[in-house]
Amino acid sequence: MFRATWNPNPNVHPHFIIGNMGRYAEIMSGINGDLICNLRDERLTAIPAVNAFHPNINLIISGNASGRMVAWEERVKQPPLEEDKTMLQPQVVINGKHH
């Protein structure tokens, strides 16, 4: 069962994250339900059923049923593309090693 998780930061646009069967997580607007972005990576081989926002920094953790997790961190694109200046990039950690 997938459960939506709200971003606890009251200073940003209200939004939540939820995993889906396509092996990625979706960030949705809490105002109108529109899709804000998909968090996906070809290295994800299972459904990110559990997701959480870090309370103080721009970090999202996604976990699956096998116990693996991915940390998504907001980074500035180099060079910036048009109006969108940030993109979430996966940080895959397996057995304590970054991949």
Give 64-95 pLDDT, tens digit per residue: 888 888 899 876 555 555 555 455 656 666 66
Single pTM value for the model: 0.69
> Can you name the residues that pair with 53 across neighbouring β-strands?
60
How many helices (H) and strands (E) are present in the chain, helices listed first? 0, 9
- Cα 82 from chain centroid? 22
The parent domain of residue 38 ranges over 5-98
Q: Assess contact for 26 and 10: CB atoms under 8 A.
A: no
| Of 21, 15, 19, the residue nearest 39 (C-alpha) | 19
Confidence band of 18 (pLDDT split at 50, 70, 90):
very high
pLDDT for res 50:
92
Q: Domain total for the chain?
A: 1
